[in-house]
Structure 1
Amino acid sequence: MPPYALDDFAFDLRRAVPPAEIWVGSGTGTVSQLTGTVCGVGGWFAPPLAAPDSRLTISLEVDGQRVVDLARPGAGNRGLLPAGGTWRPDRIVRRGTYHQYADGLTSLAVESTLTPSHGSPGYVLTLRIRNRSGNTHELTVVPELAATQAHQVPLSEWGWVPPAAGRGEPVTLSHDGLTTTLEGHAEATFTIAVQAGAGHTTRVWESRIAQTLGRVPTLTSDIPGLEQYYRRSLASGLACWWDHPDFVTQPFIATSGLDGGALCSYAWDTGGYAPTLLSLMLGDSVLDVIQSFLDADLTDRYAIAPDGTGLGVAYAYSGWSLVALTRAAAAERRLDPALIARLYDVLITLDKRFQPDGQTGVLRDYGDQSNLLEMRGSGWEHVVASPNAERAWTLETLAELSDLTGAALPSDELRRSARQIREEVIRQLWDPQARWFRSRYPDGHTELAYSVQAFDALRSCPPEIANALISHLRPGAFLGEYGVSSVSAEDELHYETADIDWSGAGAYTGEAPQLALTLWQQGHPELAWDVLRRLFWMGEHYPYFPQDHYSDKPGAPASGRRINIIAGLTGAEAVLTGLAGIHPNPDGSLHITPNLVAAGNITLSGLGYRGHTIDISIRPDGFEVFVDGETQSPDPDGTVVAVRPAVSGCGSGASAG
């Protein structure tokens, strides 16, 4: 039995907060419900086919009377009324009611199940209509499919923006009969297919969950909201999973993709937010994902299209993210030294893509917002603490991987460069009066932009500077009741409320849990928990996490593309590697240092690592770690060495060249 089943990810649609547009995917296609309807279906995508303007509406004829499925608010409405529903990774189930008395009682319960096809374009809509009265009715289901067409879009063109409508192949509708005599208290089922059937989508999803979550631990807790947040975080990752046979990798991990947009894959959010969890989910396929990025020339691109074509411009965080994913991959398998050598070549070339700073040449000028993380105002640009600090970590990690694999990189030089970078970040950019990092433009102009990106540099800061940075993590500045603001609300120059992911009033969905994880790693467990707990509302109100969300109120902007995001996995990553302190290492060892939480008890069961099964129990007053059922004693520093280093020095298993 897999640790999780599809029903474990079921979500009550009555609890959904904006954006209300809900999509569901099969791994080869996606489809959306029509908001406000019980049975209506919106646009769908099955690459290379796109039908964003497709619309299927349903009405009923009951004893010759029309019952519409688009009920308007107000008294006297005689349409089919929505009554809630459930999202699962493989389907959307909606319920509706029609209860009218006119020359006798007509009382119908309607349930629709919307399932995207797997392996063929389109979807299936199944209607189950139950007669709740003793009267007999003549019933006809009347589908109306808009006269739209599905058109071919080359896989290389599936980037950030969803494909627009176009002309191409006709969209056809088929069914198994839509008229019946519905006896009292009887039930009838109708099946309507657009393009092709979806009979095995559920079986595909059951197999996918067993495969992807087979080594990911289940979480149970008496802390309100934590368990559901963890599950919804996992669902966010699963919603980005594609197994299309024509994509460059199987699986292909999209940045978003449910609405046809951001079906591309960014190195930045694929590797930079949940590398440990993603490596557990992918297994040996993680090597194919890494290879696909190396093949796409990240020195001039930030993402790959589904066919592997490079997209965009050079991205400042790509190299760090790809090294993070490679380090996670190294923990469970032997890596070919040729892979590390090629990664080094790509990283050095990418490094040279950005100009040296104008003082010592040690730091890099990372350009403007097109190369960074898209603040809308000037501020966090050019010579900045992050990602220069991440660059230092990247060089050190390459040296570590070289030593373990025998890749023969200049390890001493890499470590020396890392030390110089850290020193120069502090010397050139730290403002002791502001207790913050300045960014410096080519002409010498500097800015104090209180961006959440500065906290990424915590990993490279000495304690006194780290503590100064952390002093800004307070309510009314970076902390909101429902998350973290990407720009401090105290920053008059840069804070705004319109574009929330990087400019204030909210944040990109991976940022708050990543900040919590960083705080745990840097020895601030109480503050880390305080940050993470602010996000638990999301597990109660989203089937999968959107691109960004507000920090001062629950929800996300109702306009724009706010669908699913791979960085939604960061919540589960923070729980596993931060709260539970699970640390897989490139030498094959596994160290576990749980953080205690006064709020309650947490159990993580069934972590699979190098053939072992690890269970962790965390209480307010202590913890226990079990390996293959045997209790493990911690070292004097509180760390449990759950798995010792591999004999070969770098894990065992698959390799890649």
Structure 2
Amino acid sequence: MPPYALDDFAFDLRRAVPPAAIWASSGTATVSQLPGTVCGAGGWFAPPLAAPDSTLTISFDLDGHRLVDAARPGAGNRGLLPAGGTWRPDRIVRRGTYHQYADGRLTSLAVESTLVPAYNSPGYVLTLTIRNRSANTHRIAVHPELAPTQVHDVPLASWGWVPPPPGSGEPVALTHDGLTADLAAEGEATFTIGVQAGAASEADVASEADAANTTRAWESRIALALRRIPVLTSDIPGLEQYYRRSLASGLVCWWDHPGFVTQPFIATSGLDGGALCAYAWDTGGYAPNVLSLMLGDSVLDIIESFLDADLTDRYAIAPDGTGLGVAYAYSGWSLVALTRAAAAERRLDPDLIARLHDVLTALDKRFQPDDQTGVLRDYGDQSNLLEMRGSGWEHVVASPNAERASTLDTLAELSDLTGAALPADELRAAAQQIRTEAIRQLWDDDAGWFRSRYPDGHTELAYSVQAFDVLRSGDYPPEIAAALISHLRPGAFLGEYGVSSVSAEDELHYETADIDWSGAGAYTGEAPQLALTLWQQGEPELAWDVLRRLFWMGEHYPYLPQDHYSDKPGAPASGRRINVIAGLTGAEAILTGLAGVQPNPDGSLHIRPNPVAAGNITLSGLGFRGHTVDITISTDDFEVIVDGQRVSAEPDGTVIAVRPAVSSCGSPNSAG
């Protein structure tokens, strides 16, 4: 039996905060509810088909009187009134009420709509159930009104960051199984309406079976993707829900479209048609271990799809594998991080590691050495980095130079394990030289921060959250780590509801309009990644303090948005900020930081949990190389059970849950 079911990800829509647009996915199509309605549907996408301007509105003829959906607030309103609903990955269920007493007669109806995107078919199914709550009988007719828009074909190579705009093409057809019924006292009637591309015929009439196909696809997807992901239970308020919403964020980025370059294809976003492409940066850079567990052997297909693209001049791949955008400074590091995670559970082909090295070398050449020692790279302007809007964190910067050092170390490690015959000693020496030069050239001892340097020698102190990424890339002197971490305080980087991407104390660079990289909030993966970094740095109390600031998100989002504020609960209501794969970082931080689970490329699994005073945590059913691992963390102790047997900790407190894998020829990292 799968560890999680669809209902485990159900979300009460009454708790939703902006952005208000809610979408559901089938894995081949998506559809949105029409905000403010009980029954209405908005835009939908079934790549390569797009219908962003499609709308379906519903009204009812009740005993000869018109009853409208989308009723406006105010006294005397006689429309259908929204009364809440439930989101699941496969559907949006909304409830409405109509209750009026006039001329000695009670009219009381409960309306429930279920909106489901079709699986392997372009369109969606809307099912309406109307229940009579009175002793009177009624004649009811449903009146659907489909906007006169068309669905148009957008080549898969063109599905980039921005959602496809409206266009002309095929008609959008509406089908149904009958729209009138007699409602007996306390009786109910159900109507099924389909919206699809192309002209309708009798054979095309939508049915509840079409919705059931989507649910079955989701049940299979969850069983596959979460079979090795542990179930978290806890008495700490908010932790369990945050973990589930993080997993849901990854699941709604999962596409198993037969026309895509990989099955599954992991989009950066995609629910609203935007960022249906996959960035190497956030695919591999934020939750590589959790994503590798979810994907199984398919993770190798994902890695290959990025290697096939030209990362020296592209930051993402479209659904068909076409490269998009410009060179991104973090692409190489992210791809290596995902490959390292993949190596923990299977022996990698040495040719893959050699090819990865070649791609990283080419990407390095794309970003030229700076003009001092030639060791550090000039990573260009904001178009190549993470898009802070003001000048500051550009050109020769500590991060991603530090990440480049980390990639060299990892390539050397993978070469040793696979026999790829890379110059491992040279790679490690180059990595250490980068770290040394980053400190010598960029560290400002008085500020306790790294400067960035422009080609003409101009330098700036930009207090960007990106500086903390340096700590993940290798051993740095304790005094530098301590100086960086000292900036993590309320009123600077820490807000009550998260982390600011730029310190609020930085008057040159902090702003409140574009929050993901310029202040007042952050890209959704940043705060949990910072918590993970702090656990790795031996700062468990501060790590927990950062992570617990995010728990409100689990209570107020069905899946996590692209970015969110740090000083108030919510995300910007405007712009396309619907969902993001980096939402998985919450689960990554909990699993590999809080629980201290460390999958290693030699096939071993080390675990060193970090108890917290806030309460107790259990992670059950972690699957690794055929083993099942359960972790129980109390306020001052922990226990690790492997295949039903308790495993004792080593003298340093680490539990070696799974020993290094050994092949028949004696080399580590054989298939498990």
TM-score by length of 2: 0.97
Task: Measure the CA separation in 1 of the matches of 2:357 and 2:577.
Answer: 35
Match of 1:450, SS? coil
Q: 2:566 aligns with which of 551, 559, 584?
A: 551
| 2:657 is equivalent to residue 642 of structure 1 | yes
Q: 1:343 aligns with which of 333, 336, 356?
A: 356
- 1:141-540 equivalences under 5 Å are 141-195=142-196, 197-459=210-472, 460=474, 461-540=476-555
The one-letter amino acid of 1:384's match is V
193-202 vs 524-533, greater mean Cα deviation: 193-202
Preserved CA contact (<8 Å) 2:115 2:125: yes
Task: Measure the CA separation in 1 of the matches of 2:211 and 2:45.
Answer: 14
Partner residue in 2 for 1:81: 81
CA offset digits 1:161-202 (Å, max 9, x no partner): 000000000000100001011011001100001116433000
Please state how far the C-alpha of 1:650 moved relative to its aligned partner. Answer: 4.5
68-77 vs 476-485, greater mean Cα deviation: 68-77
The one-letter amino acid of 2:338's match is L
Match of 1:171, SS? strand
- 1:26-45 equivalences under 5 Å are 26-45=26-45
Preserved CA contact (<8 Å) 1:331 1:650: no
Please state how far the C-alpha of 1:73 moved relative to its aligned partner. Answer: 1.1
Preserved CA contact (<8 Å) 2:228 2:624: yes
- 1:106-117 equivalences under 5 Å are 106-117=107-118
TM-score by length of 1: 0.99
Task: Measure the CA separation in 1 of the matches of 2:534 and 2:619.
Answer: 21
The one-letter amino acid of 2:448's match is R
Preserved CA contact (<8 Å) 2:156 2:319: yes
Task: Measure the CA separation in 1 of the matches of 2:211 and 2:156.
Answer: 22
The one-letter amino acid of 1:455's match is F
The one-letter amino acid of 1:651's match is N
Q: 2:643 aligns with which of 628, 631, 634?
A: 628
| 2:584 is equivalent to residue 569 of structure 1 | yes
Please state how far the C-alpha of 1:303 moved relative to its aligned partner. Answer: 0.1
The one-letter amino acid of 1:3's match is P
Match of 1:198, SS? helix
Task: Measure the CA separation in 1 of the matches of 2:581 and 2:100.
Answer: 45
Partner residue in 2 for 1:12: 12
CA offset digits 1:560-595 (Å, max 9, x no partner): 011000000000000000000000000000000000
Match of 1:200, SS? helix
Segments of 5+ residues of structure 2 without an aligned counterpart are 197-205
Aligned length, in residue pairs:
654
Task: Measure the CA separation in 1 of the matches of 2:323 and 2:79.
Answer: 49
The one-letter amino acid of 2:371's match is G
Taking only aligned residues, the RMSD between alpha carbons, in angstroms, comes to 0.7
CA offset digits 1:469-504 (Å, max 9, x no partner): 000000000000000000000000000000000000
Match of 1:356, SS? coil
Task: Measure the CA separation in 1 of the matches of 2:478 and 2:116.
Answer: 53
Task: Measure the CA separation in 1 of the matches of 2:371 and 2:611.
Answer: 46
Preserved CA contact (<8 Å) 2:344 2:599: yes
Task: Measure the CA separation in 2 of the matches of 1:557 and 1:370.
Answer: 22
Task: Measure the CA separation in 1 of the matches of 2:668 and 2:39.
Answer: 53
Task: Measure the CA separation in 2 of the matches of 1:83 and 1:650.
Answer: 58
Task: Measure the CA separation in 2 of the matches of 1:158 and 1:284.
Answer: 26
Task: Measure the CA separation in 2 of the matches of 1:483 and 1:15.
Answer: 19
Please state how far the C-alpha of 1:462 moved relative to its aligned partner. Answer: 1.5
Segments of 5+ residues of structure 1 without an aligned counterpart are none
Task: Measure the CA separation in 2 of the matches of 1:389 and 1:71.
Answer: 56
The one-letter amino acid of 1:552's match is D
Match of 1:388, SS? helix
4+ residue runs over 6 A deviation: none
Task: Measure the CA separation in 2 of the matches of 1:651 and 1:97.
Answer: 60
Please state how far the C-alpha of 1:382 moved relative to its aligned partner. Answer: 0.1
Match of 1:199, SS? helix
Partner residue in 2 for 1:124: 125
Percent identity of equivalent pairs:
84
Task: Measure the CA separation in 1 of the matches of 2:461 and 2:254.
Answer: 39
CA offset digits 1:482-533 (Å, max 9, x no partner): 0000000000000000000000000000000000000001110000000000
- 1:57-68 equivalences under 5 Å are 57-68=57-68
The one-letter amino acid of 1:208's match is R
CA offset digits 1:312-331 (Å, max 9, x no partner): 00000000000000000000
The one-letter amino acid of 1:123's match is Y
Q: 2:669 aligns with which of 634, 637, 651?
A: 651
